[in-house]
Chains A and B, each alone.
Chain A
Amino acid sequence: MVKVAERLRDTKIKINSLDFDAHWYRRAFHAFGASFLIYYILPDVDWINILKFWIPLFIVVLVIILELLRLTGKISSDHFFGLRMYEKNRVGSYIFFAIAILILLRFFPQQIAIPCILCATLGDPIIGEIRKRFSMNYVYLFGFLVCIFFFMIAWFRSDALLFGLASIAGGFGAIIGETKKFWWLDDDFMIQMIPAFLLLIIWISIPYLGLGYPGEIIYPGTIPW
């Protein structure tokens, strides 16, 4: 029995002695956010719709509470891996990231929400790596191309005019959101919300332009039982 306890203790020490590169941890965390797109494939059934309403809200409220506890010093920042220095006394980026995803999932049509979420989850780390390796001109160019690609996927079944308009507006909004940094408002929020509002304007204008709304990209699944 003593040996088992000793082994467990040794294993725990070994596991906790592992070290991560905070930079790549943060990148992987960003990319993980794309998993939230599963929201749209969940079946359209009453009890699942209730879960779809409450679970994202619960996660966001939980992380806000944790962040408040961190900022007030009740929980040590050591528990929050990968924070940058500027986040020491400011709300962490992940809060902005989560709130923006929640707003998009809840209040925007999926044709707008999906590419905006992809811009933050995959576009942002790609742009970050380009910024690290090349000059800002490359950031604007390749960042724009990467983001425009996500909007093209989401609007590929719309009219040609709408397809072009939405892709350019979305890509432009995302790159503006990513490159303009403020201390009080994080780019993880801006990269999602600026293109979302630009596309919302286009979305509202669709009937006035005499065009049809683009089809959905993800269809709710069915329960096999």
Chain B
Amino acid sequence: MNKSEMKYMKKEFYFSKVIRAEIFFTPFLIAIPLIVGLFFILDWYTRGFLEGNTAFYGELILGIIIIVGNITFDIPFVKSLRVLSKKK
């Protein structure tokens, strides 16, 4: 695929809409993975750590990966939002 095909489609702003779909989804996009990651860590803590069961280490690692992975991409995403809205 060439570079022009990899560009993002331009879109018009619709101020008249109730709320644009991407804005509506943004809180879920950020919050849900963090909740899921914390849920994995909580499950490791209650069923693994407190009961001394090492089988739950996988859940701990996955929880950390989900949280760290998402925060890594959420920070520049939220930052880009702020910069662009300032420009406007």
Contacts and interface: CB of A to CB of B under 8 A. Distances in A.
A136 interface: no
Interface in A59-86: 77-86
Contacts of B12: 78
A37 B36 contact: yes
B70 A25 contact: no
A41 interface: yes
B7 A84 contact: yes
Nearest to A36: B36
Contacts of A216: 58
Interface string B16-27: 011111110010
A24 interface: yes
B5 A85 contact: yes
Interface string A188-225: 00000000000000000000000000011111010000
Interface residues of B, number: 51
Contacts of A7: none
Given A34-B33, A83-B8, A215-B55, A17 B15 contact: yes
A174 B11 CA distance: 32
Given A34-B66, A215-B55, A28 B22 contact: no
A215 B55 CA distance: 9
Nearest to B24: A15
Contact of A28 (B18, B29, B47, B56): B29
| A contacts with B: majority SS | helix
B13 to A, nearest CB: 7
Contacts of A84: 5-9
A57 interface: no
B66 A35 contact: yes
B73 A38 contact: no
Given A19-B88, A34-B65, 17 more contacts: A15-B23, A17-B13, A17-B85, A19-B84, A21-B81, A23-B80, A24-B73, A24-B77, A78-B14, A81-B21, A85-B6, A121-B69, A122-B69, A150-B65, A216-B58, A218-B59, A219-B47
28 contacts: A15-B23, A16-B20, A16-B23, A18-B23, A20-B77, A20-B80, A24-B77, A32-B32, A32-B70, A34-B36, A34-B65, A34-B69, A35-B36, A37-B40, A80-B21, A81-B11, A84-B8, A85-B5, A86-B5, A114-B62, A122-B65, A125-B73, A153-B62, A153-B65, A215-B55, A216-B58, A217-B59, A218-B62
Interface of B: 1, 4-9, 11-15, 17-23, 26, 28-30, 32-33, 36, 39-40, 43, 47, 55-56, 58-59, 61-62, 65-66, 69-70, 72-74, 76-77, 80-81, 84-85, 87-88
Interface of A: 12-13, 15-25, 27-32, 34-35, 37-38, 41, 77-88, 114, 118, 121-122, 125, 150, 153-154, 156-157, 181, 183, 215-219, 221
